[in-house]
Amino acid sequence: MYEIAPKFDLSPMVGQLLQQACLGQWDFQFHFEGWSITGQGRVDVTINGNTSTWFNGEWKDTSKISALYGSAISSWGINSKRSFQVSLENGVVLNFISESDRYEDFVINPPGWII
């Protein structure tokens, strides 16, 4: 629903370990050490150079979810006005893509970023 804010900054997340990935029927929650990314927007995951959509309003594929655990965030970036990514130390890349014009797709806490 919202474009990425001009002051959007996930730098404090770098180095934080992914502790938990929660799969709800219509949502997801990725919990890091003190931070979380939750939502209902599209999530594409790249593992070993292969990208697949894991979530887009419903779960598509989570067969390789174990590749997420035990790895910390190595970097992050903004792909577009409505897309950002988080890269893990093991090479996995989580791409968060907002496609809704009516609803919030992602919430990042703290500091309470809404996209």
Give all domains of the chain, ordered by start, each with its CATH number.
11-114 (3.20.190)
pLDDT: which is higher, 43 or 69: 43
* 112 CB-near residues (< 8 Å, 6+ apart): none
pTM: 0.92
**pLDDT over threshold 80, residue 82:** yes
What is the spatial distance between Cα 82 and Cα 52, in angstroms, rounded to a whole number? 18
**pLDDT over threshold 70, residue 67:** yes
pLDDT tens digits for 17-41?
A: 999 999 888 899 999 998 999 999 9
Other CB atoms within 10 Å distance of the CB of residue 39: 23
In 72-111, which residue ranges form alpha helices assigned H by DSSP?
none
